[in-house]
Structure 1
Amino acid sequence: MVDEFVRNSDPEQLYSSTKTSMSSDTTSLSHCTSFSRLSFEFPTSSPEQTVALKPHRSSDSSFQVFRCSTNLNFRDFSLVRQIGSGDIGRVYLCRLRGAETEGRRLYAMKVVDNEVLAMKKKTQRAETERKIMRMLDHPFLPTLYAEFDASHFSCVVMEYCSGGDLHSLRHKQPQKRFSLSSARFYAAEVLVALEYLHMLGIIYRDLKPENVLVRSDGHIMLTDFDLSLCSDAIPAVESPDFSPDPDYSPRASRSLTPFSCISNRLFRSKKIQTIASNRLFVAEPVSARSCSFVGTHEYVAPEVASGRSHGNAVDWWAFGVFIYEMIYGRTPFAGVSNEATLRSIAKGPLSFPDHAPCGASEVHARDLISGLLNKDPNRRLGSKRGAADVKTHPFFKGLNFALIRSVTPPGVAGIKRQKTSPSRQQTAPFGIF
């Protein structure tokens, strides 16, 4: 049955990536140590326990349906249509068979051919993504509902995002770029998702608009973790004046507002009130290292483009490229070929459009992008304290990150669009995993 669907379904590109990731899997890891004076660790659990424990999904009826179901298999789902494809598998829109109410809910199912994975030597990449998805429990990251095997296929059921991806949505905007306010909103939600991943010791390594999906409610979901690097991180609370590097002075430290979602009235002790208002939450895998050549050409960091080892700072470089593209409708270092793009990333200067910034918000945006696109990973904004430093940049002033899920998403053109827009130059055949 799976073979029939994989052979005959017509592809739609809502879930397929229009820029493809390159990879060369030679990785070395070192454990991360925290710089903080006060640290804490989360209890560990088995993969099975992790799948079952999703606190932020406790009130989600869709998740409850899967929790109450045991031994799910391919026959428990009906496939509606194909919504994405790649060189090692396909993504289908599906429904869970059963009660009429449940049958109306839509999910996304990734169907991957294990024999093709083995032939292309990408089995480890698929295992890495499944391992990460079992760990995730966050509003801006996918929820793993079920996973099972059917013949030599592996199936993963997750959330379905009907709003498309930010790459296709950007192409629907006036001048193919988002307004500053919309770009700020999407950047903030991606930043929160990156912070959570880094807290788990996961370096994403494939941030790009194609991998930022939009749910029906307008909020985002970061997807595709096959290129991610798993390491260790120790979440910690630091004093804002405590720096792991005495020469490190982030430009974003001008206005620290940690724990802004928590009112001091919740703390009875004056001492605790003082501590809560003068601490930063830090969760950054600063010691993880890899020699893999992975990413999308327009988004890879200079250290990757130059063939050097890299760590967590590559995500903050990609975040800078992401914001630049959202605001200006193009990436800052794109060349006429992949080789030209990599040379520009490694050696070329950062430049902005010739027009003068139209207000303080764009001035702050350019300052933030400049800090994130520092070619020296040791001086790059976010490389030492991650999101704790990036969040405090003036570009995000007045934004309560802890309550961003309650903010009304921007109304952007094409939010219901089902097809992706024209692709950029590809780097390699795209794989769903």
Structure 2
Amino acid sequence: MAAVASSSTAATAVPASPNNAASTSSTTMLEPQSQPPSPYPDAAAPAASSVRSASSASTSSSSQADRSSTFSLDSSSAATPSSSPPRPHRASDVAWAPIRGRALGPRDFTLLRRVGAGDIGTVYLCRLESQAAAEGPAYAMKVVDRRALAKKGKLGRAAAEKRVLRRLDHPFLPTMFADFDAGTDFSCIVMEFCPGGDLHSLRHRMPGRRFPLASARFYAAEVLLALEYLHMMGIVYRDLKPENVLIRGDGHIMLTDFDLSLESTASPALEDARSAGGDRQGEDAPAPAPAPTCLPIPELQLLRLRRWKRRAAPRPRFVAEPVDARSSSFVGTHEYVAPEVARGGGHGAAVDWWAYGVFLYELIYGRTPFVGDSNEATLRNIVRRPLEFPAHGAGAGDRDSAAARDLIARLLDKDPRARLGSRRGAADVKAHGFFKGLNFALLRSSPPPVVPPPAAAALHRCDKAADVQQLFDHF
């Protein structure tokens, strides 16, 4: 499951996606196999097994704790080839400028080394051939072997991912710079290279293996904006986890891995906030009574009253939730699947808000809330066990911690109809008190908690390994 988001100045990374084969029953679980973690989401488990992908886009892979597996019983249709459209928000990006408007092929790139190999494809760190000697921007090239995927029955998933990538234009989502064929058997996608790794790796480097509350709020806010954009496009993500959140060179995030995504439709609209009603943290405070006036002229009093009403009126909310999206596919990562998926029933966009609650819980408390000794035990816990918080956690006892717990509890409502976000999506989540005082419009230009060091050491040109040379022979 691979994807990428954009950076205005830094070259970023492209993860690939590991989608694992599943059984024919929607309730049959696959046992994960042990294998080394890959720095890209696509560098995942073997075809017949499922493992949690260690999708770090960093150039050096670190040891990560094994999680429950990613699984899928989904099927998709083939994609229609098309060129990558312009990306307005990337107009001044140094990585976008050299390839903008060019017809590119495999011979236009120099492969530096393989950074991931897995079930869906192989990812290479590369540069443009014309700029390789001049230390130009780095890119990630994902190469898909159509013959291998056809044997596994996974061509549809790779095609779905490419369809989604072609549509994206958002600073916290991937930018597909180019896509082309190499011969008749290989399909290539060029995306950004992210030198900062992923949130799972970064969390393991934090004291206590958890983020301070302020850092967790920052990363959660950027992921929230990415989910809002996806839902606005009618895309249900279905695989949110820290491994799929990469750190760009400027420290901001990039949500990746889209081969499990569900494509639907949405009708974005502005909704009067007064009609929302009933949300404890999302309600606008009641407007104060108008101040008394001593103006003697009725016309001036009326003008002042109109101005006051305009200022006091609650701002409309942007609502973009794919409410008609429905699927009965058994897909996701075990620790993050919603109860409706764990039961084997149908699901909609509300599964993303459940996963968002698990994601926030893990950032703050260093583990997921329902993990068990096995995948089956984890699914039973998700369906039956009530949500519990650690007695001692990050900022336990203060107001911000209480707001975080309330947000998580409302996101992890086992009833998808009552779950926060299920009705008005990101509009309700953004209005929660946990994000009070945060300016979502300025997040992209706000300083991130961690800025990765320059990745120059990882971008050196190395001798072509056997696998790289073999790939060139195919080209």
Out of 382, 406, 417, the residue aligned to residue 378 of structure 1 is 417
Following TM superposition, by how much is the alpha carbon of 1:103 offset from its aligned partner in structure 2, in angstroms? Answer: 4.9
Aligned partners of 1:52 and 1:67 also within 8 Å = no
Aligned residue in 2 for 1:350: 387
Rounded to whole Å, the distance in 2 between the matches of 1:159 and 1:216 is 10
Out of 245, 249, 261, the residue aligned to residue 216 of structure 1 is 249
Following TM superposition, by how much is the alpha carbon of 1:354 offset from its aligned partner in structure 2, in angstroms? Answer: 1.6
Q: Counterpart of 2:208 in 1: which secondary structure?
A: helix
Out of 173, 189, 201, the residue aligned to residue 156 of structure 1 is 189
Aligned partners of 1:27 and 1:292 also within 8 Å = no
Following TM superposition, by how much is the alpha carbon of 1:60 offset from its aligned partner in structure 2, in angstroms? Answer: 1.9
226-235 or 148-157: bigger deviation: 148-157
Letter of the 2:226 counterpart: A
Aligned residue in 2 for 1:329: 366
Out of 82, 88, 93, the residue aligned to residue 125 of structure 2 is 93
1:45-77 alpha-carbon deviations (Å, 9 max, x no partner):
x9857x32211112223223222311x111110
1:181-225 alpha-carbon deviations (Å, 9 max, x no partner):
111110000000000000000000000000000001100000010
CA RMSD after TM alignment: 2.8
User: What is the correspondence of 1:253-402 to structure 2 with a 5 Å cutoff?
Assistant: 253-255=282-284, 278-355=315-392, 357-402=396-441
Aligned partners of 2:271 and 2:316 also within 8 Å = yes
Following TM superposition, by how much is the alpha carbon of 1:249 offset from its aligned partner in structure 2, in angstroms? Answer: 2.7
Aligned partners of 1:26 and 1:290 also within 8 Å = no
Does residue 13 (structure 1) correspond to residue 13 (structure 2)? The answer is no
TM-score, normalised on structure 2? 0.74
Rounded to whole Å, the distance in 2 between the matches of 1:162 and 1:285 is 33
Rounded to whole Å, the distance in 2 between the matches of 1:100 and 1:273 is 58
Following TM superposition, by how much is the alpha carbon of 1:393 offset from its aligned partner in structure 2, in angstroms? Answer: 0.6
Rounded to whole Å, the distance in 2 between the matches of 1:153 and 1:379 is 45
Rounded to whole Å, the distance in 1 between the matches of 2:274 and 2:75 is 37
Aligned partners of 1:108 and 1:159 also within 8 Å = yes
Following TM superposition, by how much is the alpha carbon of 1:287 offset from its aligned partner in structure 2, in angstroms? Answer: 1.5
Rounded to whole Å, the distance in 2 between the matches of 1:229 and 1:339 is 24
Aligned residue in 2 for 1:76: 108
Aligned partners of 1:170 and 1:326 also within 8 Å = yes
1:393-431 alpha-carbon deviations (Å, 9 max, x no partner):
111110000110011000379997x99xxxxxxxxxxxx
Out of 160, 174, 177, the residue aligned to residue 142 of structure 1 is 174
Rounded to whole Å, the distance in 2 between the matches of 1:359 and 1:250 is 22
Aligned partners of 1:25 and 1:293 also within 8 Å = yes
Aligned partners of 1:79 and 1:92 also within 8 Å = yes
Rounded to whole Å, the distance in 2 between the matches of 1:82 and 1:234 is 41
Letter of the 1:341 counterpart: T
Following TM superposition, by how much is the alpha carbon of 1:308 offset from its aligned partner in structure 2, in angstroms? Answer: 0.7
Out of 225, 235, 240, the residue aligned to residue 192 of structure 1 is 225
Aligned partners of 1:255 and 1:393 also within 8 Å = no
Letter of the 2:142 counterpart: K
Rounded to whole Å, the distance in 2 between the matches of 1:313 and 1:241 is 23
Letter of the 1:253 counterpart: G
Aligned partners of 1:47 and 1:134 also within 8 Å = no
Following TM superposition, by how much is the alpha carbon of 1:255 offset from its aligned partner in structure 2, in angstroms? Answer: 4.3
Rounded to whole Å, the distance in 2 between the matches of 1:286 and 1:372 is 17
Rounded to whole Å, the distance in 2 between the matches of 1:134 and 1:90 is 19
- List alignment gaps of at least 5 residues for structure 2: 1-35, 42-52, 55-66, 286-305, 459-475
Q: Give the 3 Å change call, closer, same or farther, for CA 276–122 of structure 1 in structure 2.
A: farther
Paired positions, count? 374
* Larger Cα-atom Rg: 2
Rounded to whole Å, the distance in 1 between the matches of 2:120 and 2:86 is 30
Following TM superposition, by how much is the alpha carbon of 1:15 offset from its aligned partner in structure 2, in angstroms? Answer: 1.8
Aligned residue in 2 for 1:24: 73
Aligned partners of 1:238 and 1:281 also within 8 Å = yes
Following TM superposition, by how much is the alpha carbon of 1:21 offset from its aligned partner in structure 2, in angstroms? Answer: 1.9
Q: Counterpart of 2:40 in 1: which secondary structure?
A: coil
1:62-119 alpha-carbon deviations (Å, 9 max, x no partner):
223222311x111110111111221232111100111468752100111111111111
Q: Give the 3 Å change call, closer, same or farther, for CA 77–409 of structure 1 in structure 2.
A: same
TM-score, normalised on structure 1? 0.81
Following TM superposition, by how much is the alpha carbon of 1:355 offset from its aligned partner in structure 2, in angstroms? Answer: 2.5
Aligned residue in 2 for 1:123: 155
Q: Give the 3 Å change call, closer, same or farther, for CA 103–270 of structure 1 in structure 2.
A: farther
Aligned partners of 2:76 and 2:157 also within 8 Å = no
Q: Counterpart of 1:403 in 2: which secondary structure?
A: helix
Letter of the 1:86 counterpart: G
Q: Which structure is higher in RCO with an 8 Å CA cutoff and minimum separation 6?
A: 1
Counting aligned pairs with the same residue, the percent is: 59
Q: Give the 3 Å change call, closer, same or farther, for CA 344–78 of structure 1 in structure 2.
A: same
347-356 or 114-123: bigger deviation: 347-356
Rounded to whole Å, the distance in 1 between the matches of 2:128 and 2:453 is 28
Aligned residue in 2 for 1:407: 446
Rounded to whole Å, the distance in 2 between the matches of 1:275 and 1:227 is 43
Q: Counterpart of 2:140 in 1: which secondary structure?
A: strand
Rounded to whole Å, the distance in 2 between the matches of 1:412 and 1:175 is 20
